[in-house]
Amino acid sequence: MAAAEPLPPGEFPPDTGPPPPKGLGRVRAAIRRGASRAFLPLMQRAARPWVGGETVEDALTVAGRLAGEGFPSTLGLWDAPENTARQVADEYLAAVDRLSKGGQDSYVSIKTPALRFDPKLAAELSAAAQARGVRLHFDSHGPEVADPSNALVELMLQRLPREQLGTTLPGRWGRSLADADWAVERGLAVRVVKGQWPDPSDPGRDMRAGFLEVIDRLAGRARRVAVASHDVALAAEAMARLRAAGTPCELELLFGLPMKASLGWARENGAAVRVYVPYGKGYLPHAVSQLRRNPRFIWWILKDLVTPRRPA
């Protein structure tokens, strides 16, 4: 798969989202919005434990607590719409610097749309990560930004050893199989997710089946794979396939979401677990948005208010 050239700054917004619903879907979405609006203050309150704070210091506090419980982490900044690419890059540089001094098993997850695919900022971030020995990992976004994101990976590989760089592949996209080959050829660590945004060429693609197809493509070939899912049955099957092929792997969970079942399975099966700690002013609105699109999560919220969940 040939990587595309980075697009000019400003070509994409800081983050991408699913396409707006049409027809009956639009009516249902309007009903959901109306029903959830009354719960908005409640959702804002309950969503706060999902985030590791607004600053890297807040996130490091959470990561430190997780480390004390035996869990390595990754720190993922969620920028706000008003943030410039320069501001986001400075936040990433601060995270790299702090992690290099903390001695924790953690790495920095980055969002290329937030950097506006700026090659100069990518080079600056690569140089800092190389000098300080901190890993960088590319989060996944919409399919329309996959090629420019891969182009930025290629650019960073000119400065950064492959052991310090990783990428994310959604099972929801047909292109992820070719992207898996591309990542293996470059020796990248890979995180596999179901995927938030649909494949425009195959919007009905089965996410679970696609997830396992990507796992099979990586098994026995990838340097390291993170299985990022709270779907216990899916994660168990994925890790069984990777282990059978001798591929180093770990389970990756999102801080704030229910972990009890996943951690129970991991303990019983000797699986390594890493926790993604989101932080920044942009994550709380994102969490609330997800809750508004998924009213069933309101039950989780109500439970949280009377029985707060712990990350472990």
Give the residue extent of every domain in the chain. Answer: 23-51+281-312, 53-279
Residue 195, pLDDT > 90, answer yes
- Residues with Cβ within 8 Å of residue 310, at least 6 apart in sequence: none
Residue 294, pLDDT > 70, answer no
User: Beta-strand (E) ranges in the chain?
Assistant: 73-77, 106-110, 136-138, 165-170, 189-193, 225-228, 249-254, 273-279
Burial degree of 37 (CB within 10 A; 0-12, 13-18, 19+): exposed
User: Nearest Cα to 49, choosing from 222, 251, 279?
Assistant: 279
Between CA 153 and CA 137 the distance in angstroms is 9
pLDDT, average across residues 122-150: 96
User: From 3.20.20.220, 3.40.50.300, 1.10.357.10, 3.10.20.600, which CATH number describes the 53-279 domain?
Assistant: 3.20.20.220
Between CA 92 and CA 156 the distance in angstroms is 14
- Paired tokens of 241: 């396939």
Q: Which pLDDT value is given to residue 2?
A: 38
Q: What angle, rounded to 10 degrees, do the helices at 56-68 and 85-102 form?
A: 30
β-partners of residue 227 are 192, 251
Distances (CA, A) of 32 to 178, 189, 276, 289, 312: 37, 38, 29, 12, 32
pLDDT, average across residues 272-281: 93
Between CA 210 and CA 271 the distance in angstroms is 22
Least confident of 68-77, 131-140, 148-157, 196-205: 196-205
- Residues with Cβ within 8 Å of residue 307, at least 6 apart in sequence: none
- Paired tokens of 120: 């100069």
Please state whether 219 falls in left (phi above 0), alpha (psi between -120 and 50) or beta: beta
pLDDT band at 102 (very low <50, low <70, confident <90, very high): confident
Q: Are 168 and 137 in contact (CB under 8 A)?
A: yes
Q: What letter represents residue 206's amino acid?
A: D
Percentage with pLDDT > 70 across the chain: 73
DSSP 231: -
Top-confidence range, 120-129, 280-289, 290-299: 120-129
What torsion do the CA atoms of 214, 236, 50, 56 make, to the nearest 10 degrees? -70
Q: Which pLDDT value is given to residue 226?
A: 98
